[in-house]
Structure 1
Amino acid sequence: MTRFLRKVPLDSGKPTAMPCDATLLLLDKHHVEALLSKDAVLAAVQESFELHSDRLGRVFPVVREALPTGGVFGIKSGDVPSQGLLGFKAAGFWPANRAVGGEPHQATVVLIDPGTGRPTCIIDGNAITTARTGAAGALGLRLLARPDTASACVFGTGVQARVQLDFALDTLPGITQVRYVTRDGRRDPAFEAVFAGRCAISLAADSNAAVASSHLIITATPGREVLFDVSAVQPGTHLNCVGADTRGKRELPDGLLARARIVVDDLAQARQIGECQWLPEAACIELGDLLCGKAALQREPADITVFDMTGLALQDLTVARQLQRAALATGQGTRLPWAW
């Protein structure tokens, strides 16, 4: 019996491995954390928004479903045909993991050869998700937040709250005062310790008062209930909203979106699973269109702006590809025979 051998021109720029000697690259969390850099992630995420705006990158319909176990499982996938980039991220939220000392957010990214459908790289996606969402938030701040932003209020103290604040302090170095809000109203010394040398950080005694006195609001919670009153949001405030990424989830109060100028990562996704599901008729601008100059948003001093982040598959794929290239260049990762 004759085996199928894929013929690939040597100058095509594509892998020349035949089915009998194909390999699969595995990158675990330690590899990913060693290879990630803020600048590279920012560049990859910006590229993903620009590809999306130019319709060179496709975002396929999101799968996001509740499980009988209490978890939420999702798949985000897409491709960039002109670059031979194809893949998906299987991810979700399993709150019961906390009870055994585990991270509730779980994600795995798979890159696939678009010519054959064979996987080329499997990557622990937790750090990718954290970093690329933080980078997306930073791009939103560059375009939307007041340049004189000096105070911030953060809802949540988990991994996403940390990375959002980390990128915010890099992007808006004028931030000197940070207040944070926890679910149980208790201090989180570990969260404070991460940022103690970069700003004055303290637990907010009253969430509405903290919102009212802050130029920037970051919401990074599981997103099942409104976090503050609409009257607390003052003119000139910017909000980066991370938690609403599933039908029925929300963090913002009724009436806020109607007062705000709204930017989204993807219009269809935002109206389906983001904060905009609660006001789907609201006028929105996609961030990629702002980055590419196809749209403009001239912020007035009294404007309230909202960046509704639901997460693009293209963000995961461009960052994963950067990690794959870095691993191959440095010899990191585990290579497995993957004959077919």
Structure 2
Amino acid sequence: MTGTPARTDDNRPDTSAHATTLRILGTSDVAGLDISLAEVVDVVERAYRTLADGKSANPRKLTVKPDDGHSVSYAMLGRDGVREVVAIKTSYKHGLDRGRDEQRYYTTLTLYDDVTGLPVAMMDCGRIGSLRTPAVSALLARESAAPGSRSALVIGTGTQGRLALPFLLTTLPDLDRLMVHGTHPDGLAAVRAQLEHFYPGREVEVVEDVRAAAADADVVVAAAGQHTPAAIEAADLKTGALSILVGHGIAPSTLHEADRVIATSEAQMRVTGTDMADADGDLPPVDAEFPEIVAGRAVGRRSADERIFAYNSGLVVTDIALGHRFAQLAVEQGLGTRVPLWQ
């Protein structure tokens, strides 16, 4: 464990004595960092603005997947031009052909200070992803949901589904009907627990007929795993609905029959969204990318009755911004272990 380093004149940690060491932040270190949902949304939104302003770099992710599809791995490199931080994120998931309890998932984020040229930290990125992704969905909903939206449906109760409703309430506080569809009792209990933790007294309605529930939902967040039986079609959605794809749970028709298509990154959608392609293997063009919407150079919604499809794929610049904030908090609290990696 290490204490808080001295500060330099530019308000960056003085890490000159640690050029050959790396601060490791394990799962328990990251879990112990206190951050509000509103701050997460703010950090993520600022990362999008920085990218839209051309101050950050977010190249397309690299993907490796064996022919039998039992695993998938990603590598993402990026640079935050305001924080002046370079980072590499890796993700590896094994057992995609098995049940959720048998799957293995590992993800890490390694940060480097691009002013001092020194390493900042390497951390478990699981919590960052579990916060960043629903925060992006909440921002998509803020910018693209129909005016007066009051109901939301979340499909899936895994990592990405459990915080979806609290984040949606952070950006759309007028939501008064909250619905969730899931098949795992533990997951449903976790959804209830997270909602009670962040919004005491708010109730969530567990729905079994997901297609009927979709007909009443202004916002649909599809965050289920690939084995979900849920597959909402475009015809199931109400006029003016916003459907956000995070994982699985909505059918390709919701994309191909949408009046407007938004993506956090069109390039990434064409890499990771191939399961939404039509019979010819094609995906429709994207009408607007989300960083441009956040920056005010594009609009999320043009009319109240548009059915909008939004593709939420992770951009590493948002991981960098949130990961760097976590690293700052960890340094302030003296968390982590120094490893002499380059000695």
* TM-score of the alignment, normalized to the shorter chain, above 0.5: yes
The Cα offsets for residues 115-154 of structure 1, whole Å up to 9 and x where unpaired, read as 7976431111000011111211111111111342222221
* Aligned amino acid, residue 27 of structure 2: K
- CA shift for structure 1 position 298: 4.3
Question: Which 10-residue stretch deviates more, 258-267 or 62-71?
Answer: 62-71
Other-structure match for 1:40: 39
Other-structure match for 1:171: 171
* Aligned amino acid, residue 218 of structure 2: H
Other-structure match for 2:191: 191
Count of matched residue pairs = 326
Other-structure match for 2:25: 27
Alpha carbons of structure 1 residues 323 and 95: separation in structure 2 relative to 1, 3 Å: same
Q: Name the SS of the counterpart of 1:42 in structure 2.
A: helix
Of 208, 215, 220, 1:217 maps to 220
- CA shift for structure 1 position 81: 4.9
Q: How many Å separate the matches in 2 of 1:307 and 1:255?
A: 10
Q: In the TM superposition, what are the counterparts of 1:193-272 in structure 2 within 5 Å? A: 193-195=193-195, 197-223=200-226, 227-243=231-247, 251-254=250-253, 256-272=255-271
Question: Which 10-residue stretch deviates more, 327-336 or 307-316?
Answer: 327-336
- CA shift for structure 1 position 54: 1.6
Q: Name the SS of the counterpart of 1:110 in structure 2.
A: strand
Other-structure match for 1:75: 75
Q: How many Å separate the matches in 2 of 1:97 and 1:262?
A: 30
Gap regions ≥5 residues in structure 1: 1-9, 245-249
Alpha carbons of structure 1 residues 29 and 186: separation in structure 2 relative to 1, 3 Å: closer
Q: How many Å separate the matches in 1 of 2:19 and 2:263?
A: 43
Q: In the TM superposition, what are the counterparts of 1:50-129 in structure 2 within 5 Å? A: 50-67=49-66, 70-81=70-81, 83-95=83-95, 104-114=104-114, 119-129=119-129
Q: Name the SS of the counterpart of 1:243 in structure 2.
A: coil
Alpha carbons of structure 1 residues 104 and 151: separation in structure 2 relative to 1, 3 Å: farther
Q: How many Å separate the matches in 2 of 1:328 and 1:186?
A: 34
- CA shift for structure 1 position 273: 1.5
Please say if 1:289 is aligned against 2:288: no
Q: Name the SS of the counterpart of 1:160 in structure 2.
A: coil
Question: Which 10-residue stretch deviates more, 161-170 or 94-103?
Answer: 94-103
Of 313, 319, 322, 1:316 maps to 319
* Aligned amino acid, residue 24 of structure 1: L
- CA shift for structure 1 position 88: 1.2
- CA shift for structure 1 position 338: 4.2
Q: How many Å separate the matches in 2 of 1:71 and 1:251?
A: 22
Other-structure match for 2:4: none
Alpha carbons of structure 1 residues 58 and 149: separation in structure 2 relative to 1, 3 Å: same
Q: How many Å separate the matches in 1 of 2:243 and 2:87?
A: 31
Residues 138 and 171 in structure 2, CA contact (< 8 A), matched pair in contact too: yes
Residues 44 and 318 in structure 1, CA contact (< 8 A), matched pair in contact too: yes
Q: How many Å separate the matches in 1 of 2:129 and 2:186?
A: 27
* Aligned amino acid, residue 24 of structure 2: L
Of 301, 306, 329, 2:304 maps to 301
Q: How many Å separate the matches in 2 of 1:36 and 1:100?
A: 28
Q: How many Å separate the matches in 2 of 1:126 and 1:98?
A: 20
Gap regions ≥5 residues in structure 2: 1-7
Residues 62 and 76 in structure 2, CA contact (< 8 A), matched pair in contact too: yes
* Aligned amino acid, residue 150 of structure 1: R
- CA shift for structure 1 position 316: 0.7
Q: Name the SS of the counterpart of 2:253 in structure 1.
A: coil
Q: How many Å separate the matches in 2 of 1:253 and 1:97?
A: 21
The Cα offsets for residues 278-324 of structure 1, whole Å up to 9 and x where unpaired, read as 25342321111111121224442211122211110101111111111
- CA shift for structure 1 position 101: 5.7
Question: Which 10-residue stretch deviates more, 33-42 or 63-72?
Answer: 63-72
- Please provide the CA RMSD for this pair: 3.3
Question: Which 10-residue stretch deviates more, 206-215 or 176-185?
Answer: 176-185
Question: Which 10-residue stretch deviates more, 74-83 or 176-185?
Answer: 176-185
Q: Name the SS of the counterpart of 1:240 in structure 2.
A: strand
Residues 244 and 309 in structure 2, CA contact (< 8 A), matched pair in contact too: yes
